[in-house]
Structure 1
């Protein structure tokens, strides 16, 4: 069962290897790969946390605010990007053993679908986040979208986290 300390593993500094589909709904669109740095810290005695991910090569940052609902024993994960400054709709879920699954609904502009005026048409998507591979030094996050009522999923973003080594005492870290 989920608890207010499910994300304690994530506190601290991480290096991140990202793989993301060029088109979130097209599994044949090709993968983009890029590095990021990440840091996460605890709030509310573990029942909340916030993180920030910096992606210098692409010129943006992202953040996630995670909140544990004491009544439902579920987490809400709320993402925002410096590109928009807006919160995306949350995904909600829980951990079972060392695997977390979180679901939500969103609208996604689809680059291949256009109105008669040429503007992208948005599609309703079901969103799934999965946390797995959790250890002292590693973790994996995956995002997938479904447009057919969860019959099929397109995994479109994978982040592999590696904990940054703490600086050795007495060194400048340079």
Structure 2
């Protein structure tokens, strides 16, 4: 069961190792890897948070606003890029045990895609996020971005 404190582990400063496909929809595309940093802070006594991720390699930053809906006990994850300044359609979901799965619908390169975010490998010192797209309504998935978070040295967990 999800709670307003599911993302408490993520509060604070992180070093990020990115691995993403050069073409999000092509399973034969290559991967690029680069570093970055992230900072997350809590709002609404844990039922919301914001993180900003800095990706110097891409010359951009990203922002995620996460909101916990107490009625449905689900999270909405709302992403924005500094390149566009717009919010992408949210993904919705919850944690079950040590894994959080979140789904939504969007478009990429003019194609309708089903989007999946998965949070896993969570500890006070590390976490893993991955994004996958589906062109067939969620029957098959192509993982296209993975972020490995490690707690920035000298910063306390949470």
TM-score (norm 2): 0.96
Secondary structure, aligned partner of 1:57: helix
- Runs of 4+ more than 2 Å apart: none
CA distance in 2, matches of 1:32, 1:104: 25
- Superimposed CA distance per residue, residues 47-79 of structure 1 (whole angstroms, 9 cap, x where no aligned partner): 000000011122100000000001000000000
Pick aligned residue for 2:124 from 125, 131, 136:
136
Deviation at 1:136, TM superposition (A): 0.9
Corresponding position of 1:43: 43
Post-superposition Cα deviations, 1:119-154, rounded to whole Å, max 9, x if no partner, equal xxx111000000000001000000000001211100
CA distance in 2, matches of 1:129, 1:56: 22
Aligned mates of 2:123, 2:18 — CA distance in 1: 18
Of 98-107 and 56-65, deviating more is: 56-65
| Contiguous gaps of at least 5 residues in structure 2 | none
Partner residue of 1:152? 140
Distance in 1 (alpha carbons) for counterparts of 2:148 and 2:86 = 25
What is the root-mean-square deviation of aligned Cα atoms in Å? 0.7
What per-residue deviation string (whole Å, max 9, x for no partner) do you get for residues 145-171 of structure 1?
00012111000000000001226xxxx
Q: Which has the larger radius of gyration?
A: 1
TM value normalised by structure 1: 0.88
Counterpart among 124, 144, 162 of residue 112 in structure 2? 124
- Matched positions, count: 155
Partners of 1:54 and 1:151 lie apart in 2 by 33
- Which consecutive residues of structure 1, in runs of 5 or more, have no partner in the other structure? 110-121, 168-174
